[in-house]
């Protein structure tokens, strides 16, 4: 009798396990978010990967003048961690929970602009790049994780090559604009986007040319494109007067350009009644 009961129990257990495996096999994994490069629209950065990295699937985003550049959420989610480890490990870092087991981490930040529990949208500013923690130079350490394990990074549907240095252009927070002009086209050859800010109806861009030491600001419309409407862009080098381009334009305001070098700048603009002005920043 005891042997028969044991056999029945083992048969029932096997059936339960088989059913569990069947359900697991039939339950699809949650789709990964469409992760974007965590910098302003049209920013060109180098995605560096190393076989000796910890964790090995992390990416270091590198760019001249990256210190102080705005770091954007690569997808929407909820802030799950905001930590400051000082001069150790990640230094100042942030984690975003995107649901479905997916999280992203952003480390070595100079500043953090969010708090735990806060909901963020893709493209929202969460902090600024820097060199805190155990680093040899400024960069953004970035991870995509699934159920707590770092996985190989995919950005805008493009897999980051392992191992090497690969150029990526951000399409984060570009707003799906049909405006035919890009900030680098407006400001000219040699300029790179170092910051941007969305306003209702468009986006304001700050660019820098390392060869000429000039900053450039332009405001690009995403609504009423091709139809004249009020737009402005302004730039002020600390110690100098503000320079503004404003009017009723079909596509953009600017470019407004001034030599800054290591001097702090205040920048901004408007589309209609929606406006933005930065504090003095980007001093390096």
Could you tell me the CATH number of the domain that includes residue 197?
Answer: 2.60.40
Q: From the DSSP assignment, how many helices (H) and strands (E) are in the chain?
A: 2, 21
Residue 188 sits in the same domain as residue 261: yes
- The domain boundary, picked from 121, 139, 169, lies at 169
Residues 162 and 210 occupy one common structural domain: no
Q: For residue 250, what pLDDT is reported?
A: 84
Could you say which of 147, 169, 191 is where a domain stops?
169
- Specify the pLDDT at position 3: 43
Mark whether 119 and 189 lie in a shared domain.
no
Domain CATH for 101? 2.70.70.10
Distance in angstroms between the alpha carbons of the first and the last residue of the chain: 83
Question: What pTM did the predictor assign?
Answer: 0.60
Q: What is the pLDDT of residue 102?
A: 97
Same structural domain, 132 and 205: no
Question: Do 104 and 204 share a domain, yes or no?
Answer: no
Q: What is the pLDDT of residues 261-284, one digit of tens each?
A: 788 999 999 999 999 999 999 986
pLDDT given at position 148? 97
pLDDT at 226: 76
81 and 164 share one domain: yes
- Whether 159 contacts 49, CB under 8 Å: no
Q: What is the pLDDT of residues 128-158, one digit of tens each?
A: 999 999 999 999 999 999 999 999 999 988 9
Domain count, the chain: 2
User: What per-residue confidence (pLDDT) applies to 175?
Assistant: 60
> What confidence score (pLDDT) does residue 245 get?
96
Residue 176 in domain: no
Range of the domain at 195: 183-277
Residues contacting residue 236 through CB under 8 Å, at least 6 positions apart: 242, 243, 265, 266, 267
Residues of the chain falling short of pLDDT 70: 1-29, 175-178, 284
**Which residue, 169, 191, 211, sits at the end of a domain?**
169
Nearest to 122 by CA among 171, 173, 71, 197: 173
């Amino acid at each position: 009798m005891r042997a028969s009961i044991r056999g029945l129990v083992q048969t029932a257990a096997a059936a339960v396990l088989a059913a569990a495996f069947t359900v697991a096999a039939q339950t699809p994994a949650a789709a990964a978010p469409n992760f974007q490069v965590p910098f302003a629209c049209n920013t060109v950065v180098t995605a560096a990967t190393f076989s000796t990295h910890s964790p090995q699937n992390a990416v270091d985003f590198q760019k001249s003048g990256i210190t102080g550049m705005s770091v954007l959420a690569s997808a929407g989610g909820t802030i799950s961690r905001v930590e400051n480890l000082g001069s150790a490990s990640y230094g100042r870092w942030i984690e975003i929970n995107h649901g479905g087991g997916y999280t992203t981490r952003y480390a070595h930040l100079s500043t953090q602009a969010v708090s735990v529990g806060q909901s963020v949208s893709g493209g929202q500013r969460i902090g600024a790049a820097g060199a805190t923690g155990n680093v040899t130079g400024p960069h953004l350490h970035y991870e995509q994780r699934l159920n707590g394990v770092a996985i190989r990074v995919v950005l805008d549907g493009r897999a980051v090559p392992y191992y090497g240095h690969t150029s990526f252009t951000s399409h984060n927070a570009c707003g799906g604009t049909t405006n035919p002009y890009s900030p680098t086209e407006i400001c000219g050859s040699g300029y790179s986007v170092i910051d941007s800010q969305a306003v209702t109806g468009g986006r304001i861009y700050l660019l820098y040319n390392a060869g000429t030491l000039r900053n450039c600001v332009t405001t690009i419309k995403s609504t009423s494109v091709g139809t004249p409407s009020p737009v402005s862009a302004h730039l002020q080098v600390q110690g100098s007067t503000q320079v503004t381009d404003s009017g009723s334009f079909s596509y953009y305001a600017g470019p407004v350009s001034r030599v800054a070098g290591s001097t702090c700048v205040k920048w901004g603009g408007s589309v209609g009644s929606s406006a933005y002005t930065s504090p003095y920043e980007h001093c390096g």
